[in-house]
Amino acid sequence: HAVGSKVGEVLLYYCYCEVRDPEKLCAWQKALCEHLHLTGKVRVASEGINGTVGGSKVATSLYIKVMLSQPLFKNILCREDFKSSAGGAHCFPDLRVGVFKEIVPMGIDPKIVSYKETGIHLSPQEFHREVEQYLSQATQGQSDTILLDCRNFYESKIGHFQGCLAPDIRKFSYFPSYIDENLELFKDKRVLMYCTGGIRCERGSAYLRSKAVCREVYQLKGGIHKYLEEFPDGFYRGKLFVFDDRYAICSNEDIVSACRYCGVLWDQYKLCSSQHCRQLVLTCPSCCNKGLTACCPVCQEKELKVTSRASGQTLKEECECTRRRPRVPIEHVSPRMLDTGK
């Protein structure tokens, strides 16, 4: 159908505010998205709303208009809070709108660590200057700053800021434990945090600040998304991972990751070919053609077994990747050992 095939866009936004009746907001939001034929995911909670939706350009611009005029978000949400990229309704399998405890799943009660205790927001320009300064100091081995990626390992693997510390964690809900286990590392440091669109930093910085060990905590306002709009060839190298069927969006031609099998530069994810595994795998076209399509040998084996199995039997999501990875890594780096290479 012609309507769906036109290039549309995907919007990413969040708004922290007091929501008295999350159920009511949820129903309104669902009706709005359905009316505009938008697909995607929207999380509603008593602490606000977080969404990523796709549709035609007409639909997304109407959506922004309506969102900005909604009394709940008035004076809090503004046009700049919507990050957009090329895409459309086809980027998501369906529309999911639901009520949750947190609008970003960190696993810490918002009453205990509130978004109100967040770090200092830096504009992309300010952040760029900070990173520039950090990188020049780090090469002389005398930096008091940590550039912290708040995302998951599979996100930072295909794109990140030069010289960043990227935790090897699988979910944002492991981030608080990561901070707890590595508190020494952050002692008396200035921390520059970043994530995709800024939302994980809101809670992540609040959590880090609650530990009272850092000298200062800063965060990139609008996330990598907004940074790349201003500095497509800045200090962020590689692709930007997105949580939809596109997997990644690109601002520069750099490839910073490699094929899991042959090591050739490659950064386009596919889902592991083993039916019940949800891991993403980097496997280049030539390795794919050789049938190397699973995330690890365990899954590759499992796939062969599954085809000969009676249907109806399900396999637990268990593979070498999930078994080998510690939930929360302990860092043994002095920050000056961090890779500041271009």
* 127 and 240 housed in the same domain: yes
Two tokens at 128? 């760029």
276/288 Cα distance (integer angstroms):
19
The answer to whether the beta carbons of residues 217 and 198 sit under 8 Å apart is no
With bands split at pLDDT 50, 70 and 90, how would you rate the model's confidence at 336? very low
Residue type present at position 323: R
Q: Higher model confidence: residue 87 or residue 340?
A: 87
Considering the domain boundaries, does residue 193 fall inside one?
Answer: yes
pLDDT average, residue stretch 130-152: 90
Q: Higher model confidence: residue 143 or residue 222?
A: 222
Residue numbers annotated as active site: 195
Q: Residue 323: what pLDDT? A: 74
Output the domain CATH number for residue 73.
3.30.70.100
Please list, in sequence order, all residues whose beta carbon lies within 8 angstroms of the beta carbon of residue 280, skipping any fewer than 6 positions away. Answer: 154, 247, 269, 270, 271, 272, 295
* 134 and 93 housed in the same domain: no
79/222 Cα distance (integer angstroms):
12
Considering the domain boundaries, does residue 252 fall inside one?
Answer: no
Would the pLDDT of 203 be above 60? Answer: yes
74/1 Cα distance (integer angstroms):
36
* 242 and 264 housed in the same domain: no
Considering the domain boundaries, does residue 104 fall inside one?
Answer: no
The answer to whether the beta carbons of residues 171 and 152 sit under 8 Å apart is yes
With bands split at pLDDT 50, 70 and 90, how would you rate the model's confidence at 4? very low
Nearest to 89 by CA among 119, 127, 60: 60
Nearest to 182 by CA among 328, 28, 342, 24: 328
Q: Residue 333: what pLDDT? A: 61
Considering the domain boundaries, does residue 253 fall inside one?
Answer: no
Q: Residue 309: what pLDDT? A: 52
The answer to whether the beta carbons of residues 116 and 204 sit under 8 Å apart is no
Average pLDDT, the chain: 89
Q: Residue 68: what pLDDT? A: 97
160/166 Cα distance (integer angstroms):
8
* 284 and 237 housed in the same domain: no
Express each pLDDT in 296-309 by its tens digit: 888 888 766 655 55
* 188 and 236 housed in the same domain: yes
Considering the domain boundaries, does residue 190 fall inside one?
Answer: yes
- Altogether, the residues listed in the chain come to a count of 342
Coil, strand or helix at 44: strand
Helix, strand, coil percentages in the chain from 3-state DSSP, rounded to 5: 35, 20, 45
Output the domain CATH number for residue 195.
3.40.250.10
Considering the domain boundaries, does residue 229 fall inside one?
Answer: yes
252/213 Cα distance (integer angstroms):
36
β-strands 145-149, 190-194 pairing: parallel
* 162 and 196 housed in the same domain: yes
337/285 Cα distance (integer angstroms):
34
Structural domains counted in the chain: 3
* 38 and 152 housed in the same domain: no
Would the pLDDT of 158 be above 80? Answer: yes
CA angle (32, 34, 40) in 5-degree steps: 95
* 240 and 178 housed in the same domain: yes
Q: Residue 266: what pLDDT? A: 95
Express each pLDDT in 35-47 by its tens digit: 999 999 999 999 9
With bands split at pLDDT 50, 70 and 90, how would you rate the model's confidence at 139? confident
Q: Residue 342: what pLDDT? A: 39
Two tokens at 70? 């909604």
Q: Residue 278: what pLDDT? A: 80
Residue 284 DSSP class: -
Would the pLDDT of 310 be above 80? Answer: no
Express each pLDDT in 42-97 by its tens digit: 999 999 999 999 999 999 999 999 999 999 998 899 999 999 999 999 999 999 99
Considering the domain boundaries, does residue 272 fall inside one?
Answer: yes
Q: Residue 334: what pLDDT? A: 56
Q: Higher model confidence: residue 335 or residue 169?
A: 169
End-to-end CA distance of the chain: 45
Least confident of 67-81, 98-112, 181-195, 270-284: 270-284
Q: Residue 52: what pLDDT? A: 97
Q: Residue 129: what pLDDT? A: 97
* 66 and 175 housed in the same domain: no
The percent of residues in the chain predicted with pLDDT above 70, rounded, is 90
Residue type present at position 74: K
Q: Residue 305: what pLDDT? A: 66
Would the pLDDT of 157 be above 90? Answer: yes
Express each pLDDT in 248-287 by its tens digit: 998 888 999 999 999 999 999 999 988 778 889 999 999 9
Domain residue limits at 89: 9-99
